[in-house]
């Protein structure tokens, strides 16, 4: 094939009439053989053996589209019409899914879609999928062009790249404009490659290894692009459509629907992590309590997985992969090890990755069970004994329950037993730790509230028809009637928020920590002729009338957290349902904390100001915030190295400050720190014998409550104040 023929071939592929079915026929007959001329004179890598086969809608997908449209319009909690405005929103959301970082398409490409942009609404009602498939096919072609271009740059030799210029690159391009044309996009990709090379060089990787790493990454992505399927386009389009109603409404393809763990919770068998797609990446949403990843300790929420490796094999780059395929790669035999290369949530640069080895295992119910501890607080010569119950999730062994086993495990049954044991140990107050508890069985949250109140409503549930169901605790018995503190953080969600909100509304205890997740919606999975639709059908409300949706539960006493609220939480999700409120239901107020809350906060703040652990936490939070606020990184070697060294010095300093607090010798280098972290993570039996200082602060607040006001004795023998239901 001559250069002229290749150029003609490229023009034919890059300029299809996206609204014409004939364009798809033409593209099928063409080989993707691309030539690029750039200011640097780079020529794209040519592979005449590879062909991109444009995907087309199947006969089953059109009726599924129509069913999805009807379900969304008539049964979703949010009342939203399919019109021209929605059409435009779906269009841009679909493009965000396909090219979220604005690195494949140009402004010229976007302009071609102007007519389609306003036609998607009517097309979605009638199952006309070709316009969306035309968009998908063009994006796939552009992805192939970009990856071929990247490989051509690598083939020229990374030693030819110039790192002496005063250049920089934008870290997050999700809000940036698309580049005007191909020439500008070429320059953007050269900067992206320089960024990847620079980051690896600063981490001590040699150029040969960097070249191999990058070539493997781009070739892997290229292979995925050539393997595009009709269902990929349909699922992306339907999820862009369904996501207009709320972020928890989504379409599952038939393949995804085959696996309950994937389709219902996206739970990864083998490591215990909940994942979701995030542009080209697979992002960790949360860790399953008691699972291998949670026990290993290195994988964290908001980490993004870029590669997956099996024992004895080279890692496979999974950028751009479908979620179900990443799941399949991570799953494996029990006791085998999977290696994940991730971009840490706090990384200042997408090229800064770390490798985590996790031994696969099943998540055992007993490892998610509630557990207890006791702490002793010396206050003015008086010793306070405080019980602590940690609840990782709201669980119930449904199989044992249905089989009639009188000793089946559940959150409420286990906590009742732990309370009885703590009473025997003479506790004067109780701390319930719900941090990182992502929820679980709704009835368990309802029953757990019942352990601390005589009877009454616990949560309200409103459906799309505005019908409200009130769940009640009908058991007048109380397992614990003493002072109570509930610890929460940003990862406390759903059932955790129901429990914490009820305890707060009843004046039954204080909520301490950081604002919770804000997941206050209920989903149901409905079958289609082709796949399934997970759709939001109702919403949770507290007994005081306010929703837990979006806003979550606001603590009475706040403690800062390392978790980035801008990236994790309901209010960080696009199209999340808003907070609102309905009429409160009558409920008892057991104690009015307004007379003492000011003094409790004052004592807490004074104690934290004097606490070396809290000062270290604040320092770490400030450091992480500085990293998050970095919008660009330099591509000049000297400037980048100086910034890299500064960041590594701070990391080591924070780690050694924590070692000093524990009376342990400092690390001499970051390499020693990393080796220690790897060793700790590899030993799943390693535990921190000392309760963390947040739990201990919960005990201190409890001691303040007991020490501050003799009226707290009224909680020890609960008295009901006048029934009231003032909104929070």
Active site residues: 494, 505, 519
Strands, sheet with 557-558, edge to edge from the N-terminal-most edge strand: 371-379, 382-390, 429-433, 484-488, 510-513, 557-558
DSSP 73-106: HHHSSS----SHHHHHHHHHHHHHHHHTTS-S-B
Return the SS3 of 432: strand
**What is d(CA 195, CA 201) in angstroms, rounded to the nearest whole number?**
10
Burial profile 471-505: b = 16 or more Cβ within 10 angstroms, e = fewer: bebeeeeebbbbbbbbbbbbbbbbbbbbbbbbbbb
Which residue in 468, 539, 518, 462 sits closest to 245, CA to CA?
539
DSSP 207-246: HHHHHHHHHHHHHHHHHHHHT--HHHHHHHHHHHHHTTT-
DSSP 475-531: ----S--S-EEEEE-TT--THHHHHHHHHHHTTSSEEEES------EEEEEEE-SSS
Which residues, other chains included, contact 701 with Cβ-Cβ below 8 Å and sequence gap of 6+?
485, 510, 512, 557, 600, 604
Residue showing tokens 């000297």: 638
- What DSSP character marks residue 687? -
Give the containing element (helix H, strand E) for 680: helix 670-682
Task: Say if strands 316-317 and 337-343 run parallel, antiparallel, or are unpaired.
Answer: unpaired
Which residue in 506, 607, 629 sits closest to 556, CA to CA?
506
CB atoms within 10 A of CB 721: 12
CB atoms within 10 A of CB 349: 21
Which residue in 179, 172, 190 sits closest to 104, CA to CA?
179
Which residue in 492, 470, 495, 489 sits closest to 412, CA to CA?
495
């Amino acid at each position: 094939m001559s250069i002229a023929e290749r150029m003609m071939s490229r023009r034919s592929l890059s300029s299809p009439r996206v609204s014409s079915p004939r364009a798809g026929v033409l593209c099928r007959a063409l080989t993707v053989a691309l030539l690029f001329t750039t200011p640097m004179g780079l020529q794209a890598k040519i592979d005449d053996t590879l062909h991109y086969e444009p995907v087309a809608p199947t006969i089953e997908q059109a009726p599924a589209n129509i069913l999805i449209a009807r379900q969304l319009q008539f049964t979703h909690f949010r009342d939203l019409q399919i019109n021209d405005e929605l059409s435009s929103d779906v269009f841009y959301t679909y493009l965000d899914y396909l090219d979220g970082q604005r690195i494949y398409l140009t402004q010229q490409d976007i302009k071609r879609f102007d007519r389609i942009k306003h036609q998607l609404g009517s097309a979605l009602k009638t199952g006309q999928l070709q316009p969306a498939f035309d968009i998908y096919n063009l994006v796939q072609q552009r992805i192939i062009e970009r990856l071929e271009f990247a490989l051509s740059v690598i083939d020229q030799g990374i030693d030819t790249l110039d790192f002496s210029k005063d250049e920089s690159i934008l870290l997050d391009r999700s809000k940036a404009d698309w580049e005007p044309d191909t020439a500008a996009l070429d320059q953007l990709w050269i900067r992206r490659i320089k960024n990847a090379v620079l980051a690896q060089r600063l981490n001590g990787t040699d150029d040969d290894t960097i070249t191999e790493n990058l070539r493997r990454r781009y070739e892997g992505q290229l292979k995925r692009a050539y393997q595009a399927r009709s269902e990929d386009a349909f699922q992306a389009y339907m999820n862009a459509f369904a996501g207009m109603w709320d972020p928890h409404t989504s379409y599952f393809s038939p393949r995804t629907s085959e696996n309950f763990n994937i389709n219902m919770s996206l739970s990864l068998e083998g490591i215990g992590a909940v994942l979701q797609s995030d542009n080209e990446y697979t992002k960790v949403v949360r860790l399953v309590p008691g699972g291998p990843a949670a026990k290993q300790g290195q994988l964290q929420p908001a980490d993004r997985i870029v590669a997956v490796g099996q024992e004895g094999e080279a890692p496979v780059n999974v950028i751009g992969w479908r979620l179900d395929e990443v799941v399949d790669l991570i799953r494996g035999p029990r006791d085998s090890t999977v290696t994940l290369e991730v971009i840490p949530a706090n990384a200042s640069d997408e090229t800064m990755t770390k490798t985590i080895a996790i031994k696969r295992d099943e998540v055992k119910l007993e490892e998610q069970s509630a557990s207890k501890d006791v702490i002793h607080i010396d206050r003015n010569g008086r010793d306070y004994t405080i019980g602590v119950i940690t609840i990782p999730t709201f669980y119930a062994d449904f199989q044992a329950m249905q089989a009639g086993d009188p000793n089946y495990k559940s959150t409420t049954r286990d906590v009742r037993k732990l309370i009885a044991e703590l009473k025997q140990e003479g506790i004067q107050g109780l701390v319930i730790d719900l941090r990182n508890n992502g929820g679980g069985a709704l009835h368990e949250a309802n029953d757990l509230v019942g352990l601390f109140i005589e009877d009454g409503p616990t949560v309200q549930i409103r459906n799309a028809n505005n019908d409200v169901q009130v769940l009640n605790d009908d058991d007048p018995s109380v397992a614990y009637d003493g002072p109570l503190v509930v610890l929460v953080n940003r990862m406390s969600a759903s059932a955790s928020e129901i429990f914490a909100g009820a305890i707060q509304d009843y004046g039954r205890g204080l909520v301490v920590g950081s604002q919770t997740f804000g997941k206050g919606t209920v989903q149901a999975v409905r079958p289609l002729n082709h796949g399934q639709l997970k759709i939001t059908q109702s919403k949770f409300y507290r007994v005081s009338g306010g929703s837990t949706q979006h806003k979550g539960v606001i603590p009475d006493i706040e403690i800062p957290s390392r978790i980035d609220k801008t990236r994790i939480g309901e209010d960080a999700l696009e199209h999340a349902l808003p907070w609102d409120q309905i009429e409160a239901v009558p409920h008892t107020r057991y104690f009015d904390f307004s007379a003492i809350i000011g003094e409790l906060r004052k004592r807490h703040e004074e104690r934290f100001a004097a606490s070396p652990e809290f000062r270290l936490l604040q320092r770490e939070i400030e450091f992480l915030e500085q990293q998050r606020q970095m919008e660009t990184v330099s591509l000049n070697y000297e400037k980048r190295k100086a910034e890299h060294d500064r960041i590594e010095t701070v990391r080591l300093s924070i780690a050694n400050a924590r070692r000093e607090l524990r009376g342990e010798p400092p690390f001499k280098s970051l390499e020693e720190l990393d080796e220690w972290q790897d060793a700790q993570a590899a030993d799943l039996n390693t535990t921190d014998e000392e309760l963390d200082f947040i739990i201990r602060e919960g005990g201190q607040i409890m001691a303040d409550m007991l020490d501050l006001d003799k009226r707290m004795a009224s909680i020890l023998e609960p008295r009901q104040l006048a029934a009231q239901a003032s909104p929070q």
